[in-house]
C-alpha cells in the first residue's frame, strides 16, 4: 500500500497518508477552487486503504487553519469513511486541532464530534500551526 503525500498550496492542505510511518494528517488551508479535484484522491485512498492499516491506535490528525463550506463537506465524507472503519473494529482516533482564538475551526470539530460515531479529540493549541 503506497503512501499518499500531497504538498500544500496557498489554497489546499498538505496531506500525509503514510501507513508505513502510521502518519495520517491533513493540515493547512482548505479553500480550493475545485474541491472535488482536491479531495477525491484523499477520499479514494481512505476508502481503499484505511481498513488495511495496522496500528493501535491509528491516529488521524486534522490541523486546519481554515476550511470553506465545500471543504467541510469533504472532511465530513472522510470522517464518515473513518467512522465505517471504526465500526469495523479498526482502532481509529481522530485528533482535531484548533488555534485557541479560532472559534470557527473549534466549532466545526465540535459538530463533527457530535455527528460522527468515531472518537474525536479536540485539541487546543496556543500558537498558529507551522
pLDDT at 24 over 80: yes
pLDDT (tens digit, 9 = 90+) per residue, 92-118? 999 999 999 999 999 999 999 999 999
- What is the model's pLDDT at position 21? 92
Closest CA to 73 of 121, 119, 38: 38
| CATH code, 4-125 | 3.30.750
pLDDT (tens digit, 9 = 90+) per residue, 66-96? 999 999 999 999 999 999 999 999 999 999 9
CB neighbour list of residue 96: distance below 8 Å, 6 or more residues apart: 62, 108, 109, 112, 113, 120, 121, 122, 123
Amino acid at each position: 500500500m503506497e503512501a499518499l503525500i500531497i504538498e500544500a498550496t496557498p489554497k489546499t492542505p498538505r496531506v500525509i497518508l503514510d501507513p508505513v510511518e502510521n502518519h495520517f494528517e491533513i493540515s493547512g488551508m482548505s479553500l480550493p477552487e475545485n474541491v472535488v479535484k482536491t479531495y477525491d484522491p484523499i477520499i479514494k485512498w481512505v476508502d481503499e486503504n484505511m481498513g488495511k492499516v495496522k496500528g493501535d491506535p491509528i491516529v488521524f490528525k486534522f490541523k486546519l487553519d481554515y476550511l470553506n463550506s465545500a471543504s467541510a463537506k469533504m472532511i465530513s465524507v472522510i470522517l464518515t469513511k473513518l467512522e465505517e472503519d471504526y465500526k469495523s473494529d479498526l482502532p481509529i482516533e481522530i485528533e482535531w486541532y484548533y488555534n485557541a482564538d479560532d472559534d470557527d475551526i473549534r466549532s466545526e470539530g465540535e459538530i463533527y464530534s457530535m455527528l460522527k460515531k468515531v472518537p474525536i479529540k479536540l485539541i487546543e493549541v496556543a500558537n498558529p500551526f507551522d
